[in-house]
Amino acid sequence: MNITIDGKPCVCEPGEYLLDVARRNRIVIPTLCHHDGLPGQGCCRVCIVEVEIRGRRNIVTSCVYPVERECAVFTDSDAVNQQRRVVLALLRSRAPEADRINRLCKLYKVPEYERFASKSGEKCILCGLCVKACQSLGTGAIAAMNRGVEKEVSTPYDKPSDDCVGCGSCAAVCPTGAIEVKEDAASRAIWNREFRLRICERCGQPAGTMEELELAARKSGAEPSALCGECRKKAVADAMAATYGV
Amino acid sequence: MNCTVLVCCGTGCIANGSIDVTEALSRALLEIGADASVKTAVKQTGCNGFCENGPIVRIMPDDISYYRVKPKDAPAIAASIGGKPVNRLLFRDEEGKPVLSQKANPFYTPQRKVALRNIGEIDPGQLADYRARGGYEALKKALAMTPDEIIREVEISGLRGRGGAGFPTGRKWRTAAGYEAEPKYVVCNGDEGDPGAFMDRSILEGDPHTVLEGMAICALAVGASEGFLYIRDEYGLAREHIQRAISDAEEEGILGDSLMGGGKSLRLSVVRGGGAFVCGESTALMASIEGRVGEPRAKYIRSVQRGLWNQPTVLNNVETFANIPVIINEGGASFAELGTDNSKGTKVFAMVGKVKRTGLVEIPMGVSLRHLIYDIGGGVIGDRPFKAVQTGGPSGGCIPADMLDLPVDFDTLTQYGAMMGSGGMIVMDDRSCMVEVARYYVNFLAGESCGKCSPCREGLRQMLQILTDIREGRGKKGDVELLEEIGETMIGASLCALGKSAPNPVLTTIRYFRDEYDAHIHEYRCPAGVCPKLTAFEIDPAACTGCTRCKRACPTGAITGGVKSAHNIDQASCIACGSCRDVCRFGAVRAAAKRRLAV
């Protein structure tokens, strides 16, 4: 089916998410809580756009809006810009230390809102990607606590979690770098817990935490790997080269 | 002659001691039973709606109602049966004349009971009571109809969802019936969370079978074989009654493997809510039933297509289901005779606040707010000036005095920024501060928002801060405009209906009571004399009679003065709670701006 985004004709399948259609057509829509590997959060509301169907315009959230009928989409209308500015300003006061939000605020010319109370030292915007990543891996060590304005993400009772394997996936998907990971040559500290790192036998770089490699081994049924991710790939390539004699 | 003594045992009356009253009445009747010509039976019923005056005892068939009955009144009531009524326990109308029947009571006379038709008349624990009043006849009738015929009847009735949004029930059922998927679910939303609203609780407690019957008819119409009743955790009695009703109906073969022996099955179960306001939102409610965190999802795909476990699901409110048996029994056209063009039937309102007669009121849609508040409610307590009525709970808004003649229906109030919602109605007098009202609701929502989407969570956080500032004298020029700006964004960009309607209390109070905001911000005063940081109370020595009521009511001992001499308030120890003003009978205590006195 055919739609237009900011006047540009775009082809899409029914049910495709609007954000995906826009990105395929190189139309920029800002996002924070969207991650290609963990889609469907739909909570930061930065990706709002206006959709016009049969003369009626509505603000929708492009990352979770399935295109079901022909429509005209506006990513840059006055209503979108105004609401996106307020959303960004609200997020900035929530997480004033998050560089990515400050950059977006600059890009979208968000004025200062002096009346907004800022949380000091905060980077987290409670998008929930970390929780989703942790759950998707089957660990579920972190979750959202409380409701409403008191909401936060943490381990149960803020105590070191037995379920956490220290893989750092939560930090990797965080759009604002809010999850602190401290790492030296032999250990990694995350979520109030310290993990010993296994050193890659080939390159001497950290291959991951013991717990993380054990979990991966348990799930795949293989022995825990003695190599880091990079070296594993190289080992496979070497084996293939030897087999085919390249 | 047989006689039944009905004792109201809704949650309100139980709190007022109606279980003790029941026992005392049974004892008293037993004592005089031997030589009485009248055979009596004591029955516990659901909520009569006039909870403020509970416990309520009705003598049938004489139709005499007694109010605020204490266990010690039991012998007098028992002795009066078949003879002269107990005068002191009767309701007094505005002229002070005693009223015997509920039919003559001004609180009940204008009411038209449809959803509440059985409540107060039957023992909710007795299936036979329900059947004696035509219960499950509608289900029997529906079993002989095709799904299309059932849905058509509901469509003709014009019934719209009573939970608040007012979506046409027939259309919802028709959409669900149109999907070929298997299984389908029917869900009853009993997570009533609006502060001050208790109509769903009353129906679940007082007439549980009508809800089950409505759900069973819905299941037949859409092709569902499993259903859930999501009832909030605080409603213990409602859960108990529903649970018992389900097992009784299953035992009788009405529900379960074969609906009334017709071969179609329906399994109903009760799910206990976790106590979150947001779980009244349909998608959050379904997430909660599935065992996930109660957070809404985007509803671009409706739950009627993909609801519980991604299957077609019909979710209706308790009161909606309670109307269904009537529609099937009497026909959709007869139901549609009540109400307005676009809002058919009746609506139950929970009228509370500064109104003389509070309680549950069921009236045809389209009557005016004035009729509701003045004719049924008896007007404002102490005949003080009416200021506003807050309708629709935290998602609703405040309607000012000059709009009292607006008809109450789904569409009119929405047009004016408020909403009828689930039917909560809080009456406010001139001593209610509208900034504080807005702050109260925003504070409630800030704690009850699920916190998933940023406009709602962060918007409420900033709104709460700004409103608190205004209330405490730290308001700034531009605050009102900023509140409006945040509100507009919340309406446009929030994820669910809770977030989209959360700014309503703020936006309507700004729209209709802007002067109060300005007085707080620019003149550093609270016109209603409510906000403690901006208010000082003073006693007019000319009006004060020295009765000492205020002195005794003051929690901080700030009032001095002897009997029959004018009293005085020591501003240093006064906390501006307003207790003195509330108790003064001579209008001698006045609220003033704090700064003026301090200077």
Edge-first strand listing for the sheet containing B64-66: B39-45, B2-8, B57-60, B64-66
Residue B595: the pLDDT is 67
Please check whether residue B438 lies inside any domain of the structure. yes
Residue A148: the pLDDT is 87
Please check whether residue B183 lies inside any domain of the structure. yes
> With contact defined as beta carbons under 8 Å apart, do A130 and A142 qualify?
yes
Interface contact B492, partner A, CB < 8 A: yes
Report helix, strand and coil shares of chain B as percent, to nearest 5.
45, 15, 40
- CA–CA dist B216, A116 (Å, integer): 51
For residue B322, the SS3 value is helix
Chain A residues inside the 8 Å CB shell of B495: 42-43, 45, 61
Residues B311 and B224 grouped into a single domain = yes
Residue B38: the pLDDT is 67
Residues B169 and B318 grouped into a single domain = yes
Which residues between 408 and 447 in chain B have a beta carbon less than 8 angstroms from any beta carbon of chain A?
Answer: 445-447
Q: Is the pLDDT of residue A1 over 50?
A: yes
Angle B406-B410-B411 from CA coordinates, rounded to 5°? 70
- Domain CATH number, residue B585: 3.30.70.20
Residue B596: the pLDDT is 56
> Where does B494-531 have alpha helices with state H?
497-501, 504-522
Name, in order, each residue with C-beta under 8 angstroms of A114's C-beta and a sequence gap of 6 or more.
none
Residues B201 and B270 grouped into a single domain = yes
Interface contact B193, partner A, CB < 8 A: no
The mean pLDDT of A227-240, rounded to a whole number, is 91
Structural tokens at position B108: 């009940």
Query: How many residues in total does chain B contain?
Result: 599
Residue B475: the pLDDT is 94
Mark which of B335, B364, B399 sits at the end of a domain.
B335
For residue B456, the SS3 value is helix
CA dihedral of residues A176, A179, A180, A186 (deg, nearest 10): -120
Cα of B426 to nearest chain A Cα, Å: 24
Q: Between chains, do A147 and B448 touch, taking CB under 8 Å as contact?
A: yes
Residues B447 and B493 grouped into a single domain = yes
Which of A48, A59, A147 lies closest to B276 in CB terms?
Answer: A147
Percent of chain A topping pLDDT 90: 85
Residues B184 and B325 grouped into a single domain = yes
Interface contact B482, partner A, CB < 8 A: yes
Residue B570: the pLDDT is 94
Please check whether residue B264 lies inside any domain of the structure. yes
Q: Between chains, do A90 and B464 touch, taking CB under 8 Å as contact?
A: no
Interface of chain A against chain B, CB under 8 Å? Answer: 42-45, 48, 59-61, 64-66, 79, 82-84, 86-87, 90-91, 93-94, 113, 115-117, 125-126, 128, 143-144, 146-151
Residues B330 and B352 grouped into a single domain = no
Output b/e per residue, B162-188; b: 16+ Cβ within 10 A: bbbbbbbbbebbbbbbebeeeebbbbb
- CA–CA dist B504, B561 (Å, integer): 46
Please check whether residue B115 lies inside any domain of the structure. no
Residues B206 and B290 grouped into a single domain = yes
- CA–CA dist B599, B597 (Å, integer): 5
Q: Between chains, do A126 and B454 touch, taking CB under 8 Å as contact?
A: yes
Q: Mutation target for B interface from A33, A43, A44, A126: give the one with most B CBs within 10 A.
A: A43
Cα of B424 to nearest chain A Cα, Å: 23
* Helix B147-157 with B208-222: angle, nearest 10 deg: 120
Instruction: Quickly tell me which residue has 């919340």 as its tokens.
Output: B490
Mark which of B488, B522, B556 sits at the end of a domain.
B522
Interface contact B488, partner A, CB < 8 A: yes
Mark which of B429, B458, B485 sits at the end of a domain.
B429
Q: Mutation target for B interface from A86, A94, A145: give the one with most B CBs within 10 A.
A: A86
Q: Between chains, do A91 and B478 touch, taking CB under 8 Å as contact?
A: no
Please check whether residue B111 lies inside any domain of the structure. no
Among A49-58, A122-131, B77-86, B362-371, the minimum mean pLDDT is found in B77-86
- CA–CA dist A65, A78 (Å, integer): 20
Which of B276, B298, B460 lies closest to A149 in CB terms?
Answer: B460
Q: Which domain holds residue B38?
A: 2-104
Q: Between chains, do B448 and A87 touch, taking CB under 8 Å as contact?
A: no
Please check whether residue B340 lies inside any domain of the structure. no
- Domain CATH number, residue B253: 3.40.50.11540
Q: Mutation target for B interface from A87, A122, A135: give the one with most B CBs within 10 A.
A: A87
Q: Chains A and B: how many Cβ contacts under 8 Å?
A: 113
- C-alpha distances (whole Å) from A206 to each of A56, A139, A171, A225, B234 are 56, 21, 17, 12, 52
For residue A210, the SS3 value is helix
CATH of domain A2-107: 3.10.20.740
The alpha carbon dihedral of A33, A36, A41, A42 has a sign of positive
Query: Quick one: closest CA in B to A118, which residue?
Result: B462
Chain A residues inside the 8 Å CB shell of B489: 82-83, 86-87, 90
> Where does B340-495 have alpha helices with state H?
369-370, 410-415, 434-448, 454-471, 479-493
- Domain CATH number, residue B99: 3.40.30.10
- CA–CA dist A128, A151 (Å, integer): 11
Q: Between chains, do A115 and B462 touch, taking CB under 8 Å as contact?
A: yes
CA dihedral of residues A127, A130, A134, A140 (deg, nearest 10): -60
Residue B598: the pLDDT is 46
Q: Where are the domains of chain A?
A: 2-107, 129-244
Q: pLDDT tens track of chain B, all 599 residues?
A: 688 999 999 999 999 999 999 999 999 988 887 555 667 788 899 999 998 898 999 999 889 999 999 999 999 999 898 889 999 999 998 888 999 999 999 999 999 999 999 999 999 999 999 999 999 999 999 999 999 999 999 999 999 999 988 999 999 999 999 999 999 999 999 999 888 899 999 999 999 999 999 999 999 999 999 999 999 999 999 999 999 999 999 999 999 999 999 999 999 999 999 878 999 999 999 999 999 989 999 989 999 999 999 999 999 999 999 999 999 999 999 999 999 999 999 999 999 999 999 999 999 999 999 999 999 999 999 999 999 999 988 889 999 999 999 999 999 988 888 888 889 999 999 999 999 999 999 999 999 999 999 999 999 999 999 999 999 999 999 999 999 999 999 999 999 999 999 999 999 999 999 999 999 999 999 999 999 999 999 999 999 999 999 999 999 999 999 999 999 999 999 999 999 999 999 999 999 988 655 44
Residue B35: the pLDDT is 53
Chain B residues inside the 8 Å CB shell of A144: 293, 451
Q: Between chains, do A59 and B278 touch, taking CB under 8 Å as contact?
A: no
Cα of A242 to nearest chain B Cα, Å: 50
In single-letter form, the type of residue at position B231 comes to I
Residue B495: the pLDDT is 95
Counted domains in chain B: 5
Number of Cβ within a 10 Å radius of residue B84 = 7
> With contact defined as beta carbons under 8 Å apart, do B278 and B270 qualify?
no
- Domain CATH number, residue B374: 3.10.20.600
pTM of the model: 0.92
Residues B256 and B160 grouped into a single domain = yes
Residues B499 and B578 grouped into a single domain = no
* First-to-final CA distance of chain A: 47
Query: Quick one: closest CA in A to B486, which residue?
Result: A86
Which of B451, B479, B493 lies closest to A83 in CB terms?
Answer: B493
Cα of A224 to nearest chain B Cα, Å: 33
- CA–CA dist A43, B298 (Å, integer): 9
Interface contact B452, partner A, CB < 8 A: yes
Interface contact B301, partner A, CB < 8 A: yes
Please check whether residue B43 lies inside any domain of the structure. yes
Q: Between chains, do A149 and B298 touch, taking CB under 8 Å as contact?
A: no
Residue B599: the pLDDT is 41
Q: Between chains, do A87 and B494 touch, taking CB under 8 Å as contact?
A: no
Instruction: Quickly tell me which residue has 């509505």 as its tokens.
Output: A58
